[in-house]
Amino acid sequence: MKKPISLLAESTQSAAIAPLPVEALRLLSDLSLRLKQVGIRQISSLTNAPKPPLVTRFGAELITRLEQATGQTAEIFNPITPAPIYEVRRPLMVPIRHLEAVELILEDMAADISAQLLQDNAAARRLDLFLFRVDGHVERLEARTSRLCNKAEHIELLFRERLSRLQGNIDIGFGYDILLLGVYDVEPAEEEQLNWAPLKHESGTGFSSEEISRLLDRFGNRFGFDHILHFHPFESHIPEQAVRAKAFSNNQVQSQWTAQKGKGKSRPFLLLDRVEPITVLAEVPDGPPIRFQWRRQQHEIIAADGPERIAPEWWQNANTEHSFQTRDYYRVEDQQGRRFWLYRDGLYNREQDHPRWFMQGLFP
């Protein structure tokens, strides 16, 4: 969203344009020249003058422009929409009144568009489907894709999601008589080199990146791309702030995950969503815990490493949900060989007399 550059109160329009030169009224050039010859240079001298003599001398256009500028007369203009780069148009003899029929025609159109794109070795980022209703109303459906698309079935898939969202809350009226499929953003198609081995074994996850992008496209076009969150690393010493969720965007499907220098092995595999308070027996001031109770279970600690001391980020607001004290993290192992990541919130003798303990993560 762009912020308005300037904002005028309702009744201050005339005052605001008063000091401007008469050319600002979008007059024909000879008219503004004639105004200047009689010494009218600023708009203010026009607004204060009586209107009838002005009309007789300079014509009606001057007054129309003046009233348009102050908002007294409405001015209608048609917005210019960019023309699609590729388009397929389907005029229909008989208007169609079912979305199922739209899907059928779409199949045909997708094949045509795909042929056009393939011919130029191009691929689409954004496609729009226009449904022209008999009474002149135009329904516009936009589909975006994270993976460059020039295959008919992919295009169909994108719009099937958008159409299924419309089902039930669209007014078809007397039906649609023209369908238009336009391609707006085009990029050169990139042929991907395929593996000799079957795709399923590519990364061990069982999905190829293409399948994942198609899934993301389906979700994005059905629920909106802002609803898909994507985790990005963020440079912070505080563990729960080292990851940020951002809205998914087409351009950066891959984010750069690199282990924080020297910290890789010290961070647990699993971070709890919310830290959980525990009761701990530990040596003062910064000895490792000896035993602790978590979720009503007692754990005897046989090995511990720490403390790793992490101070709060003093530049953040103090009223965040997390406390604003230095933490001492310990990696501990209990008798059953389970490993935990826990911390003491606050330092003895510097910040707190009775610091509390929390469980934050589990090691595999």
Partner 1 sequence: MNAAPEYAELAVTTNFSFLQGASHPDELVLTAAALGIKSIAIADRNTLAGVVRAHKAAKNLDIQVIIGCRLVMMDGFEVICLPTDKAAYSRLTRLLSQGNLRAEKGNCHLTFDDLQVHAKGQVLLIIPPQNLSGEFELQLEDFKSRFKKGYLALTRYYGPHDHKYLEDLAHLARSYGLQTVATNNILYHIPDRRPLQDILTCIRTHTTVQKAGLTLLANAERNFKTPSEMYRLFPGFPDAVARSANIAEQCRFS
Q: Which parts of this chain interact with partner 1 (CB under 8 A)? A: 234-237, 260-263, 265-267, 305-311, 313-315, 326, 328-329, 350
Nearer to partner 1, 64 or 236 (CB): 236
Q: How far is the CB of 287 from partner 1 (least distance, A)?
A: 10
3-state SS, one letter per residue, for the chain: CCCCCCCCCCCCHHHHHCCCEHHHHCCCHHHHHHHHHCCCCEHHHHHHCCHHHHHHHHCHHHHHHHHHHHCCCCCCCCCCCCCCCEEEEEEEEEEECCHHHHHHHHHHHHHHHHHHHHHCCEEEEEEEEEEEECCCCEEEEEEEEEEEECCHHHHHHHHHHHHHHHCCCCCCCCCEEEEEEEEEEEEECCCCCCCCCCHHHCCCCCCCHHHHHHHHHHHHHHHCHHHCEEEEECCCCCHHHCEEEEECCCCCCCCCCCCCCCCHHHCCCEEEEEEEEEEEEECCCCCCEEEEEECCEEEEEEEEEEEEEECCCCCCCCCCCCCCCCEEEEEEEECCCCEEEEEEECCECCCECCCEEEEEEECC
Nearer to partner 1, 295 or 350 (CB): 350
Q: How far is the CB of 353 from partner 1 (least distance, A)?
A: 17
Q: How far is the CB of 272 from partner 1 (least distance, A)?
A: 19
Q: How far is the CB of 233 from partner 1 (least distance, A)?
A: 10
Nearer to partner 1, 203 or 316 (CB): 316
Q: How far is the CB of 311 from partner 1 (least distance, A)?
A: 4
Nearer to partner 1, 21 or 285 (CB): 285
Q: How far is the CB of 253 from partner 1 (least distance, A)?
A: 23
Nearer to partner 1, 182 or 288 (CB): 288
Nearer to partner 1, 196 or 314 (CB): 314
